[in-house]
C-alpha cells in the first residue's frame, strides 16, 4: 500500500494510539522534552521536570488541534498538528496564521520526504494565508527544510531552551497560486 496523507479537523479515535506511540517515542528528541510541557503553545520552555507517564498533558492539548497524518498500511508513520487562525504575538505585533505546533515522523520513515509532503498538504489549505512554526536553533534538519520551503526567521529568543539553544520562530506567506 502506498503512503497517503489525511487531513483531520480533530484526531479520530482510530489513530489516537498510533499518534500517542509516535509522540511518546519522540518525546526526548524535542528540546525540552514534550513531557516537561503542559501545552503545545507554552511560552516558558526551559528544561523542567518531565512527567514520568510521558507527554500526557501535551498530547491532551494536541489532540484538539487539526492534523495532517501520514498513513502507510493503515498505520500512522508521521503527523503534523496545527492550530488554524492562531494569533502569535511577535514583538508587539499580532500575526494570524496556521500555527504548526508539532511534527513527528517515525525514525524508519525519515529522510523519505514525509515532512515536506505534510507541509505541502498544509500549504494547499492555507492559500492566501500565513503559516508559522517554532523550533530550536540546533534542530538542523527542520531548519534546513524550513529555509528550502521559503520560511523566514521572524524571531529568535536567545538561550530560551538552555545555554546556546534559542527558540526560533519562522513564517511563510502562502500565495493564492502556491
* pLDDT reported for residue 38: 76
* pLDDT reported for residue 111: 92
Q: How many CB atoms lie within 10 A of CB 57?
A: 18
Residue 12 lies in a domain: yes
* H-helix or E-strand spanning residue 33: none
Taking the C-alpha atoms of residue 169 and residue 152, their distance in angstroms, rounded to an integer, is: 8
* H-helix or E-strand spanning residue 129: none
Give pLDDT tens digits along the chain (178 positions). 689 999 999 999 999 999 999 999 999 999 989 888 877 775 655 455 555 566 888 899 999 999 999 999 999 999 999 999 999 988 889 999 999 999 999 999 999 999 999 999 999 999 999 999 999 999 999 999 999 999 999 999 999 888 999 999 999 999 877 6
* pLDDT reported for residue 46: 47
pTM for the structure as a whole: 0.91
Which residue, among 119, 103, 8, 23, has the nearest Cα to 65 in the 3D structure?
8
Residue 45 lies in a domain: yes
Taking the C-alpha atoms of residue 160 and residue 94, their distance in angstroms, rounded to an integer, is: 21
Q: Give the number of domains in the chain.
A: 1
Residue 178 lies in a domain: no
For residue 23, the enclosing domain spans 4-173
CATH (domain of 158): 3.40.630.30
* pLDDT reported for residue 70: 97
Amino acid at each position: 500500500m502506498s503512503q497517503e496523507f489525511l487531513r483531520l479537523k480533530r484526531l479520530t479515535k482510530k489513530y489516537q494510539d498510533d499518534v500517542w506511540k509516535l509522540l511518546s517515542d519522540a518525546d526526548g528528541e524535542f528540546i525540552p522534552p514534550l513531557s516537561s510541557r503542559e501545552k503545545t503553545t507554552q511560552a516558558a520552555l526551559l528544561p523542567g521536570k518531565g512527567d514520568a507517564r510521558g507527554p500526557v498533558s501535551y498530547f491532551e492539548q494536541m489532540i484538539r488541534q487539526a492534523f495532517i497524518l501520514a498513513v502507510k498500511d493503515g498505520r500512522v508513520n508521521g503527523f503534523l498538528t496545527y492550530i488554524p487562525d492562531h494569533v502569535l504575538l511577535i514583538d508587539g505585533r499580532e500575526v494570524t496564521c496556521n500555527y504548526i505546533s508539532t511534527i513527528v515522523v517515525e525514525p524508519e520513515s525519515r529522510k523519505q520526504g514525509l515532512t515536506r509532503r505534510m507541509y505541502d498538504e498544509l500549504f494547499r489549505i492555507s492559500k492566501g494565508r500565513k503559516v508559522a512554526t517554532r523550533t530550536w536553533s540546533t534542530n538542523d534538519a527542520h531548519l534546513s527544510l524550513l529555509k528550502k520551503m521559503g520560511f523566514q526567521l521572524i524571531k529568535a529568543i536567545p538561550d530560551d531552551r538552555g545555554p546556546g539553544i534559542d527558540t526560533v520562530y519562522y513564517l511563510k506567506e502562502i500565495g493564492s497560486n502556491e
